[in-house]
A and B are shown apart, each in its own frame.
Chain A
Amino acid sequence: MTSDKHGWPLYEVFVRGKRGLNHVHVGSLHAADDTMALTHARDLYTRRNEGVSIWVVRSEHIAASTRDEKDPFFAPSADKVYRHPTFYDIPDDVPHI
């Protein structure tokens, strides 16, 4: 991925809201590196709540199972969290908001 064109890479964020709970996936964000990802995650997803534990991981480093392993459609993408199509051409016509 050439970052200049695509911006900073995507990270997935997992937060443990309090002791005794598992880390839970809360969303994603963009950051140039792990340090920045943790800083951003703390700012965005915990509003800097002290005592919260955060994990961040590059989205592309997560391997994911498919919901239906027999489904041949998923075989090529079984190693991605999302089925990232290379490009989705979104129609730009005027919508209703």
Chain B
Amino acid sequence: MSDDHVYMSLAEGHEDNARWAYGTGFEDPLHGVSTAVPDGVDRAELAELCLALADDALVSAQRLGEWTTRAPELEEEVALANIGLDLLGQARLLYARCGQVDGTGRGEDAYAYFRDADDFRNVTLAELPNGDFAFSMARLLVLASWRLAHFELLAGSADPVLAAIAAKGVKELTYHRQYAAEWVVRLGDGTEESHRRMQAGLDQVVPCLAELSAAHDAGEAVLAVLAQVTEAAGLSLADVPAAAAGAGRRGEHTEHLAPLLAELQSVARAHPEATW
């Protein structure tokens, strides 16, 4: 039938299934990339970096997962899940790389499910509870901008695997940053209530830049984004603190990480011998 035909021709345009969130036909970002660690790369340093970046992504994805069925509109359900899935994907690739280079040969689940809070190296901003949508968007804007700046550098890493992971991540993070920036502007400019909430969310996030800058100095990149977005949103930007040695990267966390992990790890730890 002709109406079906028009419709199906669209579907056929996507036969690779790339538009489905999962299924077959995933493009493997590491296809053809050698997993050998090049000479001159410090394995311990590389492992430490991969672990920290993976923990940031996993903890962020967990928080985004908590928005499921609670988002302010159905279209945002889809968007927040896309971002969560991107970060979960980054975490898995980074854990896998960590296991290849730290000498333990551990798989992704060993890192995610069988380490305690003080073994996690994520920045503490990622583990804070979701708060309202304004806080979540302020946090996403800062974390995405900061991670994007880092990934842009890492796309040129001497380690080909990390470089490939970062190159893929750059595209994803660019979108996350845009999504968050649009919402910060909307909420800042929208109504009195949204402006008040957005300002409060931003004020809560900005002090955390000290820890982020210590973990990775993104230079002016994050500040430039924040300045541009807050101006468009009619928000004021509090004084950005100087870099201060980050607690999260040393395994010192807020009281919020342990319960987050308890939930994340509950089933896996109840059945340590199980296969899923």
Interface size class of B (residues with CB under 8 A): 20 to 34
Q: How far is the CA of A21 from the CA of B20 in the complex (A)?
A: 20
Q: Is A81 an interface residue (CB 8 A)?
A: no
Q: How far is the CA of A36 from the CA of B72 in the complex (A)?
A: 14
Q: Is A47 an interface residue (CB 8 A)?
A: yes
Contact string against B for A residues 31-70, beta-carbon threshold 8 Å, 1 for contact and 0 otherwise: 1100110011001101111100000000000000000000
CB distance from B250 to the nearest CB of A (A): 36
Determine the residue in chain B with the shortest Cβ distance to A44.
B78
Residues 61-84 of A at the B interface (beta carbon under 8 Å): none
Does B14 contact A50, Cβ atoms closer than 8 Å? no
Residues from chain A with a CB closer than 8 A to the CB of B82 are 43, 47-48
Residues 7-45 of A at the B interface (beta carbon under 8 Å): 7-8, 15-18, 21, 24, 26, 29-32, 35-36, 39-40, 43-44
Q: How many A-B residue pairs have CB under 8 A?
A: 54
If A32-B186, A35-B182, A47-B21 touch, does A17 touch B14 (CB 8 Å cutoff)? yes
Does A24 contact B14, Cβ atoms closer than 8 Å? no
Residues from chain B with a CB closer than 8 A to the CB of A7 are 73
CB distance from B19 to the nearest CB of A (A): 4
Does A49 contact B73, Cβ atoms closer than 8 Å? no
Q: How far is the CA of A50 from the CA of B171 in the complex (A)?
A: 10
Q: How far is the CA of A47 from the CA of B175 in the complex (A)?
A: 12
Residues 5-45 of B at the A interface (beta carbon under 8 Å): 6-7, 9-14, 18-21
If A8-B73, A15-B10, A32-B186 touch, does A46 touch B19 (CB 8 Å cutoff)? yes
Residues from chain B with a CB closer than 8 A to the CB of A39 are 79, 178-179, 182
Interface size class of A (residues with CB under 8 A): 20 to 34
If A29-B75, A47-B19, A50-B171 touch, does A24 touch B7 (CB 8 Å cutoff)? yes
Does A31 contact B75, Cβ atoms closer than 8 Å? yes
Residues from chain A with a CB closer than 8 A to the CB of B186 are 32, 36
Residues from chain B with a CB closer than 8 A to the CB of A15 are 10
Does A49 contact B19, Cβ atoms closer than 8 Å? yes
Residues from chain A with a CB closer than 8 A to the CB of B73 are 7-8, 30
Q: How far is the CA of A21 from the CA of B11 in the complex (A)?
A: 12
Q: How far is the CA of A72 from the CA of B39 in the complex (A)?
A: 80
Determine the residue in chain B with the shortest Cβ distance to A20.
B13
Does A44 contact B21, Cβ atoms closer than 8 Å? no
Instruction: Pick from A8, A16, A29, A48: contact of B175, CB below 8 A.
Output: A48
Residues from chain A with a CB closer than 8 A to the CB of B7 are 24
CB distance from B87 to the nearest CB of A (A): 14
**7 pairs of A and B residues whose beta carbons are closest in the complex:** A17-B13, A47-B19, A40-B75, A18-B13, A49-B19, A24-B10, A43-B79
**Can you list 15 contacts pairing A with B, beta carbon distance less than 8 Å?**
A8-B73, A16-B13, A17-B11, A17-B13, A21-B10, A21-B13, A24-B7, A36-B182, A40-B75, A43-B78, A43-B79, A46-B19, A48-B175, A49-B18, A50-B171
- Given A30-B73, A48-B175, A49-B18, 4 other A-B contacts at CB below 8 A? A8-B73, A43-B75, A48-B82, A50-B171
